[in-house]
Amino acid sequence: MGLAAGVATIPDVAYAQSYRFSTVQIDGNKRIETGTILSYAGIARGQAVSGAELNDAYQRILASGLFETVTIEPRGSTLVIAVTEYPTINKINFEGNKRLKDEDLARFIESKSRLVFNPAQAERDAETIADAYNQNGRVSARVSPKIIRRSNNRVDLVFEIFEGKVTEVERIGFVGNQAFSDRRLRRVLESKQAGLLRALIKKDSFVEDRLQFDEQVLRDFYLSRGYIDFRTTGVNAELANERDGYFLTFNVQEGQQFRFGEISVSSEMPNADADEFRQALKLRSGIVYSPSLVENSIARLERLALKKGIDFLRVEPRITRNDRDLTLDVEFVMSKGPRVFVERIDIEGNATTLDRVIRRQFRTAEGDPFNPREVREAAERIRALGFFSNTDVNAREGSSPDKVVVDVNVEETTTGSLSFGGTFSTDNGFGLVVQFQEKNFLGRGQEVRLSLSGATDNKTYGLYFAEPAFLGRDVKFHFDIGYTETESYNSDYDTNRAKLQFGLEFPLGENARLDLNYKFSHAGIDNYTGSGLILAAEETAGARSLSSLGYGYTYDTRLTGLNPNAGMLLQFEQDFGGVGGDATYIKTVGRLQAQTKILNEEVTLRATLAGGALNFSGGAQSQVVDRFLYGDDVIRGFTVDGIGPREYSAGTINDALGGNFFATLQFEAQFPLGLPEEYGISGGVFYDIGSVWGLDATNGNTLYDDFSARHVAGVSMFWTTPLGPLRLNWSKALKKEAQDKEQQFELTISTEF
């Protein structure tokens, strides 16, 4: 049955007439005290009241929400107030819901069992439930509250729910964009168009609140590329006639792109030399303007001031606009800020994570000078941890005007995961991956990862542990232990390798890190079925242990460089063997990669130069498990043992031996194919030049022991799916050796579910 409606009966009287009652009679109340009703009426015994005041009394009693009907009737010197109380709620049921569980819906509503039923509240609860479905992309959902009468003035409240279908974003378009295509701008938005795998993609559901976020990220995208006048003039969301899809249109005004003009630094503090601080800036005239570059420059100047012992320095950017040449002159004005100190840092909401994990994200300690920028950066570092679903960091006045209290309020989120995945490659076949990962182990901010994977001919087991703040400093301690075994894929032998390594990694600068490590491995080959003397001798020699100390240097500007569309990655590693173990050696590996986006960021160009050298000494020689193979990403278009030195005997060509040296130069371009981007399919082309060569003194006859460059060209198709990234390569060797083993097609896919 439907919800009851309140009814009132008031005699038709002249509002100017006055009444005086010697008694007030209350009828119909069972749960509500008589005094409570009298207090709502506000009419005292013997008080002269008008008809309008009687009506006001009726309205007050009805507005209390406690009564289904209210009647006020003067009877001589007696005022009779008759009420019918709302029933109490016996229980609450939800019918028709499948996508949202009963316990989730119960948390959304304010009506509760054993409380008084209120029709207005039930209607509001129905709207709240409908909004919850709206947030899940079901804008056609309808919710109707119903009541079922029970004995003793009780009712069952039932919310009848029609969930409807998910309303998808059928199309996203833009009006007014000239510098960037619709395809490029759609990649920026959180909302996505419905594609082939719409049943698995959640971001193609229409959520109205997401549009505000889309507008903000769209503005951030343009501002970071120098379009300082950009604005979104409107967003139109048109519902299809079938009410199963929305057509979104963003109306934008791009404006002109601005670049940095004159960069200068001025100082209002006698102990801060403007010229010295100007030399610390990386900004140069002609670079595309970006607010983040200005912020980074301010932070750089403030850090320099702290190093020089200059406290309370504040940097204000004063920007002068030059419309004629589309430049922005930036003057960084250094002045003395207010003498305010951090009194304390209060942390709340961290039920699992230890206080020190959050506190060490601050570069400011209690008692230090207060720096608002540092507090904002600390908030970003806390959010970047990934330990919290929500993080609020605010500063307020402390015990005195010159002191500040920093409040940190967080909400914990899940940080552990157990994932099951599948892999496939044309080399290793199908495989299963099982991985347990905890990013915040015991609330200490430590990472623990246990992984097991097994392909047709390849099995790997590993345990990884990392402490990001070793001894309370910005030093990362990492520990890695693993075991890998292969079973004669593309080869006539099996391999097994156990490894143990640990090290300390710390920053050397804004973009550089250094890793000092120790590595131990025990590896060898078994079950050799070929006729080569070299591999047979290595099997006879048995597995051996290698022990080394080394370092790794990384310089990465892909996310922090001056150009958001270009970046560089440099990696250089050296291991010095002979710290125990069975051999003395030096292993060197280097890699340099540069990437940029062109044609309005539609095309990504990437170039990679890599090389490695392995040098054994003291009479020891390298083995196939030590040397470089194709598996070290030397060159595409060949099998695992497709290139490099080989042994031949009695007219038989045996397996690849690997080499002590490798070098490769790879060029790659990735570009759209003209397909709707919601399909996640793009194309690419690549050209690789590479070689593996060099052996120690051997007891057999070998081929291709000298450097011989192979050339490979190919095309690629990339498909980003909800199940994982898939890549298909079709390649052709333009230059190779007679005994090389080509692989003209390669498919790789990995997924987690």
Between CA 561 and CA 32 the distance in angstroms is: 70
Contact 438, 447 (CB under 8 A): yes
Mean pLDDT of 179-202: 74
Of 193-197, 454-458, 646-650, 675-679, which has the strongest mean pLDDT?
A: 646-650
pLDDT tier for residue 162 given thresholds of 50, 70 and 90: confident
Task: Confirm if 370 and 340 have CB atoms less than 8 A apart.
Answer: yes
pLDDT for 482:
95
- Residue 635 pLDDT class (50, 70, 90 cuts): confident
Distance, in Å, from the CA atom of 264 to the CA atom of 320, rounded to the nearest integer, reads 12
**pLDDT band per the 50, 70, 90 thresholds, residue 348:** very high
| Assigned CATH topology for domain 8-85 | Ubiquitin-like (UB roll) (3.10.20)
CATH topology (fold) of 348-412: Ubiquitin-like (UB roll) (3.10.20)
What is the percentage of the chain residues whose pLDDT exceeds 70? Answer: 90
Digit-coded pLDDT (tens) for 459-497: 889 999 999 999 888 899 999 999 998 876 557 888 999
State residue 666's pLDDT score: 95
Can you give the pLDDT at residue 354?
93
pLDDT tens-digit map of 490-537: 578 889 999 999 999 999 987 899 999 999 999 999 988 888 888 888
Measured CA to CA, the distance from residue 87 to residue 65 in angstroms comes to 11
Is the distance from CB of 382 to CB of 361 less than 8 angstroms?
yes
Question: 416-752 — its CATH code?
Answer: 2.40.160.50
Domain layout of the chain by residue ranges: 8-85, 88-162, 168-253, 259-336, 348-412, 416-752
How high is the mean pLDDT of the chain?
86
Tokens coding 315: 């940097």
Q: Which CATH architecture has domain 88-162?
A: Roll (3.10)
d(CA 458, CA 263): 57
Per-residue model confidence (pLDDT) at position 5: 43
Would you state the structure tokens that stand for residue 216, as one six-digit string? 């903000």
How many Å apart are CA 725 and CA 685, to the nearest integer?
17
Confidence of residue 564 (pLDDT cuts 50, 70, 90): low
What's the whole-number mean pLDDT along residues 152-161? 89
Top CATH class, 168-253: alpha beta
The three-class DSSP label of residue 620 is coil
Q: How high is the pLDDT of residue 219?
A: 94
pLDDT bucket at 751, cuts 50 / 70 / 90: very low
Mean pLDDT calculated for residue range 352-376: 89
Average pLDDT over residues 262-269: 92
Q: Rounded to whole angstroms, how far apart are CA atoms 487 and 477?
A: 34
**3-state SS of 414-483?**
CCEEEEEEEEEECCCEEEEEEEEEEEEECCCCEEEEEEEEEECCEEEEEEEEEECCHHHCCCEEEEEEEE
- 395-399 average pLDDT score: 91
pLDDT tens digits for range 685-717: 999 999 999 998 777 788 899 999 999 999 999
Q: What span, in angstroms and rounded, lies between the C-alpha atoms of 485 and 458?
A: 6
Say yes or no: do domains 348-412 and 416-752 share a fold: no
Residue 39 has pLDDT above 60, yes or no: yes
Q: 202: which 2 tokens? A: 């959640």
The CA distance from 248 to 193, in Å, is: 10
Is the confidence at residue 14, as pLDDT, over 50? no
In this structure, which amino acid lies at residue 345? I
Cα(632)–Cα(627) distance, rounded to whole angstroms? 10
- Write down how long the chain is: 753
pLDDT at 22 over 90: no
DSSP string, 249-298: EEEEE-----EEEEEEEEESSTTS-HHHHHHT----TTSBP-HHHHHHHH
Does the structure show a pLDDT above 80 at 166? no
The answer to whether the beta carbons of residues 567 and 561 sit under 8 Å apart is yes
Q: Which residue in this structure is represented by tokens 């030590």?
A: 626
Q: By mean pLDDT, which of 39-53, 103-117, 438-452 is the weakest?
A: 39-53
Contact criterion met (CB below 8 Å) for 519 and 585: no
Three-state secondary structure call for residue 311: coil
> Which superfamily does 259-336 belong to?
membrane protein fhac (3.10.20.310)
Q: How far apart are CA 470 and CA 340, in angstroms?
A: 31
